[in-house]
Amino acid sequence: MSKINIEISNNQKVLTIDPRQLHQTVRLVLRRLDCNKALVSLAVVDNDTMGRLREKYLGNPELTDVLSFDLRDRTCAGDDKNTLDCEVVVNAERARQVARAHNADPLAELNLYVVHGLLHQLGYDDRNLRQARIMHEKEDQFLQELGFGKVYYQGDKKR
């Protein structure tokens, strides 16, 4: 039996979001990757908030699209890959800016950030080209399933 709790907070006014759609994105990723017990806190923020968070937790105020934090007790973190307790923070203002630059849908871009943050929490990484390719292909697979189409890889172009 699965027990998935998702909390969404919208702390920005740059982009109109649909919390139900974000719930759907989180649930799809968790379901497809066999995560049957999860507490996911998803915060949608603007550039200012993201900069402050990155400075506080990483010591660098440079803007980013997503931050994700493993909230499991360190004594059990990593023991059960099917259990998740995390916070994912996505930058709506950055999504709007990047989407505008690529003539794309800002909500698709925002959902890319959600999927990316969840994948990191579920063991995916993008530190080298091979890992990044696997991760980005998985992101596009989920985004296509959600009806956004490919977001990271668009034709022969990638971000």
Q: What is the tens place of the pLDDT at every residue in 96-147?
A: 999 999 999 999 999 999 999 999 999 999 999 999 999 999 999 999 999 9
Q: Please tell me the distance from the alpha carbon of residue 156 to that of residue 142, in angstroms, as a whole number.
A: 19
CATH H-level superfamily of 3-158: Metalloproteases ("zincins"), catalytic domain (3.40.390.30)
Query: Which of 53, 73, 75, 74 has its CA nearest to residue 63?
Result: 53
DSSP conformation class of 18: -
pLDDT over 70 (residue 3)? yes
Domain boundaries, the chain: 3-158
Q: Does the pLDDT of residue 92 top 70, yes or no?
A: yes
Rounded Cα distance, 91 and 73, in Å: 26
pLDDT at 59 over 80: yes
| Rounded-to-integer distance, Cα 18 and Cα 82, Å | 27
Overall pTM > 0.85? yes
Give the CA dihedral 104, 91, 85, 141, nearest 10 degrees: 10
Torsion (CA) 86, 95, 129, 80 in degrees, nearest 10: 10
Model pLDDT for residues 133-159, shown as the tens digit of each residue? 999 999 999 999 999 999 876 654 555
